[in-house]
C-alpha cells in the first residue's frame, strides 16, 4: 500500500487516503512501482480554490523486462476525474528521464511541488539533482513565455471582461520566466516564492496579492473587469522578453545524458550496467 506523505500542506486526510488508494490500485493493476507522486495544479501553485481539482501526477517504473522490447509501449497511465475531484496521471520513468534531458519544466515542478503524496526516498531527489545540473535556462524561459503568451492571447487580450482566474495562468509563468532570467536556473513552483524572488512595482504586487486572496476564498472566480496594473505589466513583459530578445545560455557545461542513463538503469533495477 502506498503510504501517504506529510508535507505540511492543507490537503485533507481523507483526500490523502483516497490518493494513496488510487495510486496503489494503479500499481497493482499495471504491475508498476510508484516512485513519486505530487500535486501539480493550482493547489501546488498556491492559488487553489476550495473546489479546485486535485491534480496528482506520478512517475512509475516497470520491471526490467518491460523495457527490453522492440515494440514501443504506452508510457502514460491516466484515470478520468472522479467524484473526489482526483485527476490522476503518470509517466513511465523512461519517458520522464527523456523529458528531463529536454529541460521539461512541468517535470521539474513535480519534483519541487510543496504537496507530496508518495516518495520512494531515492528517485525524486536524484532526478531533481540531475535536472538542476543540466537544464537549459533558455529552454525553461522560452517554455514559460510561451505559456503566458498563449493564455494572454486566448483568455485576456482584447476582452472587456475576463475570467479572473485566468490572470494567474499568465502571471505565474511570467514570474517563472523572470526568475529564470534573473537566476539562470529552474524557478520555484508556487506563486508565493515567485513573488518573493521577482521584484515587482508595489501597485502590481498589491493587485496580484488582492486577486490571490480572493481566489483562495472563492469557489468559482467568475467574470470581472480587466485589472489595469496586471494588464500593463503582462503585455509589456510578453513583448520585451520574447525568446529572440534575450541571450540566456542554451547549453550547460556538462551533458546530462550519462547521469540520466545511470539513474534510469539504477531505477529499473539494472544497477550500473
Distance separating alpha carbons of residues 146 and 163, to the nearest angstrom = 20
Looking at residue 2, what is its pLDDT? 43
Output b/e per residue, 117-154; b: 16+ Cβ within 10 A. bbbbeebbeebbebbeebbbbbbbbbbbbebbbebbee
Distance separating alpha carbons of residues 107 and 35, to the nearest angstrom = 13
According to DSSP, residue 271 is labeled T
Distance separating alpha carbons of residues 266 and 13, to the nearest angstrom = 33
Q: Write out the chain's pLDDT in tens, 273 residues.
A: 444 444 445 789 999 999 999 999 999 999 999 999 999 988 999 888 878 899 999 999 999 999 999 988 999 999 998 888 999 999 999 999 999 999 999 999 999 999 999 999 999 999 999 999 999 999 999 999 999 999 999 999 999 999 998 999 999 999 999 999 998 889 999 999 999 989 999 999 999 999 888 888 876 678 889 999 999 999 999 999 998 887 777 765 557 889 999 999 999 998 766
Looking at residue 254, what is its pLDDT? 59
The domain limits of the chain are 13-133+255-268, 137-245
**For residue 160, which phi and psi values (nearest 5 degrees)?**
-80, -40
Superfamily of 13-133+255-268 according to CATH: Beta Polymerase, domain 2 (3.30.460.10)
Distance separating alpha carbons of residues 205 and 59, to the nearest angstrom = 35
Looking at residue 6, what is its pLDDT? 44
Looking at residue 216, what is its pLDDT? 80
* Nearest Cα to Cα of residue 94 among 137, 19, 142, 32: 32
Place of cell 550519462: 258
Cα dist from 103 to 116, 127, 130, 135, 211, whole Å: 21, 12, 10, 5, 31
Amino acid at each position: 500500500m502506498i503510504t501517504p506523505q506529510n508535507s505540511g500542506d492543507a490537503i485533507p486526510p481523507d483526500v490523502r487516503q483516497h490518493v494513496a488508494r488510487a495510486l496503489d490500485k494503479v500499481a497493482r493493476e499495471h504491475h508498476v512501482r510508484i516512485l513519486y507522486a505530487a500535486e501539480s495544479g493550482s493547489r501546488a501553485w498556491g492559488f487553489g480554490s476550495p473546489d479546485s481539482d486535485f491534480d496528482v501526477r506520478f512517475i512509475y517504473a516497470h520491471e526490467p523486462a518491460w523495457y527490453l522490447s522492440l515494440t514501443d509501449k504506452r508510457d502514460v497511465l491516466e484515470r478520468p476525474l472522479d467524484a473526489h475531484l482526483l485527476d490522476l496521471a503518470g509517466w513511465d520513468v523512461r519517458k520522464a528521464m527523456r523529458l528531463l534531458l529536454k529541460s521539461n519544466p512541468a517535470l521539474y515542478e513535480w519534483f519541487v511541488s510543496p504537496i507530496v503524496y508518495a516518495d520512494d526516498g531515492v528517485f525524486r531527489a536524484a532526478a531533481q539533482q540531475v535536472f538542476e545540473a543540466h537544464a537549459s535556462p533558455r529552454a525553461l524561459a522560452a517554455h514559460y513565455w510561451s505559456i503566458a503568451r498563449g493564455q494572454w492571447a486566448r483568455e485576456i487580450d482584447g476582452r472587456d471582461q475576463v475570467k479572473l482566474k485566468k490572470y494567474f495562468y499568465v502571471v505565474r509563468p511570467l514570474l517563472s520566466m523572470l526568475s529564470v532570467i534573473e537566476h539562470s536556473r529552474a524557478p520555484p513552483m508556487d506563486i508565493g516564492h515567485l513573488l518573493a524572488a521577482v521584484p515587482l512595482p508595489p501597485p502590481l504586487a498589491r493587485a496580484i496579492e488582492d486577486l490571490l486572496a480572493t481566489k483562495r476564498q472563492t469557489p468559482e472566480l467568475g467574470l470581472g473587469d480587466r485589472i489595469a496594473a496586471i494588464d500593463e505589466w503582462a503585455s509589456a513583459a510578453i513583448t520585451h522578453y520574447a525568446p529572440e530578445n534575450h541571450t540566456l545560455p542554451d547549453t550547460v557545461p556538462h551533458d546530462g545524458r550519462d547521469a540520466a542513463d545511470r539513474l534510469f538503469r539504477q531505477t529499473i533495477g539494472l544497477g550500473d550496467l
